[in-house]
Amino acid sequence: MKKIFLFCLMAACFAACQQNNTQTTVVEQPEKPSTPLQVVNDTIHLVQPDTTLTASLMHTLAHRSSIREYAETQLDNETLSTLLWAANGINRPENGKRTAPSAVNAQDIVLYVTMDLGTFIYLPEKHALQLVSTTDLRKPVASTQEFAAAAPLSIILVSDLTKFPFDDPQRTTLLGAMDAGYVSQNIYLYCTASNLATVARGTMDKAAIQQALQLTDKQIPMLNHPVGYIK
């Protein structure tokens, strides 16, 4: 009797296992939305940034590198939105603080995005891009390094030295350059984690950029980042 009971139990277990195996189905990943960038009333309204990206920090650090070749495809709204938020967006709405630190919380780094649609300033409070010039500045940004003009867009990191509560130009310029470095690293890390290509660049035609963006001598273009999908 005991033997019959054991046999039945094993048979039941085997049948259950078989059923489980046949029920295993591949869970379909929902396709990520891909909205083209669109200018409406001189503004590109960015969608909510996707803060659910799960690439590990160690994997990202292990793979960060400068990449100087870009596919022609323009970034979509979702990607540019998350890129700009990661670069220097507001991560604590209760006090308006940013993803990148800044000396004395000056929040002096202003981001401009230049592309075929024109040149835009990033407004972190609105999480939107506001048109500042209809001119595509990728060539003066690239300057002597032609590869940079081939990226679908470039981000220009400008330090507004008037945001510091002191005047000493040597001190504010140094702090502004350091603040730009943090934003630059945020761009690198997001790009690496999202399979985008970028490189930090000090090279650019600063005079042409200052003139086109109507910057004062206290608004200093510190760095730029061409960004594109990996070729």
> Minimum CB separation from ligand FMN for residue 229, in Å?
18
Phi, then psi, of 165 in degrees rounded to 5: -85, 30
What Cα–Cα distance (Å) separates residue 229 from each residue in 63, 73, 105, 138, 184?
16, 7, 32, 16, 17
The yes or no reply on residue 195 touching ligand FMN (CB under 6 A) is no
x/- mask, ligand FMN, residues 113-152, rule CB under 6 A, reads --------------------------------x-------
Task: Kindly state the smallest distance separating residue 68's Cβ from ligand FMN, in Å.
Answer: 6
For ligand FMN, the nearest residue by Cβ is 203
Alpha carbon of residue 119 to chain centroid? 17
H or E element: which one contains 157? Answer: strand 153-160
Binding mask 209-228 for ligand FMN (x = CB under 6 A): --------------------
Query: Which positions ≥6 away from 231 have C-beta within 8 Å?
Result: 69, 70, 71, 197
Report the site for ligand FMN in 45-74 (rule: CB under 6 A). 65-66
Q: Binding segment for ligand FMN among 17-25, 106-114, 153-161, 197-205 (CB under 6 A)?
A: 197-205
Closest distance to ligand FMN from the beta carbon of 148 (Å) = 8
What is the closest distance, in whole angstroms, from the C-beta atom of residue 199 to ligand FMN in the complex? Answer: 5
Stretch that binds ligand FMN, among 36-44, 55-63, 76-84, 193-201 (CB under 6 A): 193-201
Give me the helix-helix angle, 169-193 and 77-88, nearest 10°: 140
Q: Which two tokens stand for residue 129?
A: 């891009």
Q: Is 131 exposed, middle or buried (0-12, 13-18, 19+ CB in 10 A)?
A: middle
Between CA 132 and CA 197 the distance in angstroms is 25
Asked if 203 interacts with ligand FMN (CB under 6 A), we say yes
Would you count residue 196 as binding ligand FMN (CB under 6 A)?
no
- Least distance between ligand FMN and beta carbon 157 (Å): 10
In this structure, what are the phi and psi dihedrals at residue 178, rounded to the nearest 5 degrees? -65, -45
Q: How many residues bind ligand FMN (CB under 6 A)?
A: 8
Residues that bind ligand FMN (CB under 6 A): 65-66, 145, 199-203
